[in-house]
C-alpha cells in the first residue's frame, strides 16, 4: 500500500473511532432516528451532484442504500441512545466482519474452512464474555441493537459486491437519498418531540451531526470505497482493527469510560477472531489470484485446440 493510502486508512480508523463518542453527544439532545435523518440530509446536500441513476443496477443500489442508510445507521444511533457503557458496544460493532462472512456462506454460497469458522466462533465468544459481565446487563439492549447494525452492515457488504464500478460518491449519495425519507418515516412512527429537540439542541449535537456527515460518512465511507477500488478488501481490512483501539481510547479520554477486565478480555478475544477471519480472507484471495494467473499463463501457452505452440510455430 502506498504511503498516502496508508495514511488515509489510518485517518479513517481514527475518524470512525472518534465517531462513537460524537454520536453520544448527538443522541443526548435529539431523537436518534430523527438525528440519523438530519445527518444524511447534510450528506445529501453535499453529494447532490453525484445523485445520478445507474442503469441496470438501480434495484440493487436502492436496496443497499436502504440497508445501510436506514437499518444500519439507524440502529447505530438508537444503540448509542441506549448505551450505558460504550466500550462493550464498540467491541460488538466489530462483529460486522464475521456477520459478512456468515452471510457469504449462508446466502451467497461461499465456502469457508476451519480457520475462518474458528474466527467467527472467537468473535461471538468475545461478545458473549462481555455480555455476561454483571455490570453490563444494563447495556444489553444497546448490545443487541449494535449487533443488529453489524448484521445489516455485513449484508450490505455482500450486496455491494454486485456494484463494482459504481462511483463511491454515487453510492453514498443514494444511501443519503434513501436514508432521509426512510428515517423520517420511522421517526414519525416511533419517536416524539422532534421539533422541541431541534429548538433546544446544543452546539455539541449540531457539531456532531456535521462531523458525522462530513468526516465519518464522506471522508470515512467514500475513502474506504476509494481504497477498495485500488486494493483487495483483504489488504485494507486488517488496518480497520485499529479502529476499536482508537474508539476505546477516545471513550476513556473524552467520555470518562471505565474499563472492566471482562470488557478488555472480551474485546481482545473478539478482535482476535476478526483478525483471524481477515487474515484467512487475505490468504484465500492470494491463492485465488495465483490460480487465476496460472490459468491465464496456461491459456496463453496452449491454443484452443489443446496443442502447445512449438518454437517453429511462433
List pLDDT tens digits, range 24-82.
Answer: 999 999 999 999 999 999 999 999 999 999 998 899 899 999 999 999 999 999 999 99
Work out the percent of the chain whose per-residue pLDDT is above 70: 83
Q: How far apart are CA 184 and CA 193, in angstroms?
A: 13
Domain definitions of the chain by residue range? 3-297
CB 243 within 8 A of CB 67: no
- Residues 128-153 have pLDDT tens digits of 676 656 555 567 888 889 999 989 98
User: pTM for the complete prediction?
Assistant: 0.78
Q: Give 233's pLDDT tier (boundaries 50, 70, 90).
A: low
Highest mean pLDDT, choosing among 204-208, 217-221, 298-302: 204-208
pLDDT, position 314: 38
CB hemisphere CA count around 54 (13 angstroms): 20
Neighbours of 264 (CB within 10 A): 14
Closest residue by Cα to residue 221 from 16, 22, 7: 16
Amino acid at each position: 500500500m502506498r504511503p498516502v493510502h496508508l495514511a488515509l486508512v489510518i485517518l479513517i480508523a481514527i475518524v470512525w473511532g472518534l465517531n462513537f463518542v460524537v454520536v453520544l453527544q448527538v443522541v443526548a439532545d435529539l431523537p436518534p432516528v430523527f438525528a440519523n435523518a438530519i445527518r444524511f440530509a447534510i450528506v445529501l446536500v453535499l453529494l447532490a451532484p453525484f445523485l445520478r441513476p445507474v442503469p441496470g443496477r438501480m434495484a440493487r443500489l436502492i436496496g443497499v442504500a436502504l440497508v445501510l442508510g436506514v437499518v444500519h445507521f439507524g440502529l447505530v444511533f438508537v444503540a448509542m441512545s441506549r448505551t450505558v457503557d460504550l466500550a462493550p458496544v464498540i467491541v460488538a460493532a466489530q462483529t460486522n466482519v464475521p456477520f459478512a462472512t456468515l452471510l457469504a456462506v449462508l446466502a451467497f454460497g461461499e465456502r469457508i474452512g476451519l480457520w475462518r469458522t474458528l474466527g467467527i466462533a472467537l468473535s461471538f465468544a468475545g461478545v458473549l464474555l462481555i455480555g455476561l459481565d454483571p455490570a453490563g446487563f444494563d447495556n444489553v439492549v444497546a448490545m443487541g441493537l449494535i449487533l443488529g447494525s453489524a448484521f445489516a452492515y455485513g449484508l450490505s457488504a455482500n450486496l455491494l459486491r454486485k456494484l463494482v464500478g459504481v462511483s463511491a460518491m454515487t453510492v453514498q449519495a443514494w444511501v443519503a437519498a434513501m436514508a432521509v425519507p426512510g428515517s423520517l418515516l420511522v421517526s414519525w412512527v416511533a419517536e416524539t418531540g422532534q421539533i422541541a429537540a431541534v429548538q433546544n439542541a446544543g452546539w455539541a449535537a449540531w457539531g456532531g451531526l456535521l462531523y458525522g456527515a462530513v468526516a465519518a460518512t464522506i471522508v470515512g465511507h467514500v475513502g474506504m470505497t476509494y481504497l477498495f477500488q485500488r486494493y483487495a478488501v483483504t489488504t485494507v481490512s486488517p488496518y480497520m482493527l485499529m479502529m476499536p483501539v482508537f474508539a476505546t481510547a477516545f471513550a476513556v479520554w473524552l467520555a470518562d469510560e471505565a474499563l472492566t477486565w471482562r470488557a478488555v478480555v472480551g474485546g481482545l478475544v473478539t478482535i482476535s477472531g476478526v483478525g483471524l477471519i481477515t487474515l484467512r480472507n487475505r490468504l484465500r484471495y492470494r491463492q485465488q489470484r495465483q490460480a487465476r494467473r496460472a490459468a491465464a499463463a496456461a491459456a496463453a501457452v496452449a491454443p484452443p485446440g489443446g496443442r502447445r505452440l512449438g518454437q517453429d510455430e511462433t
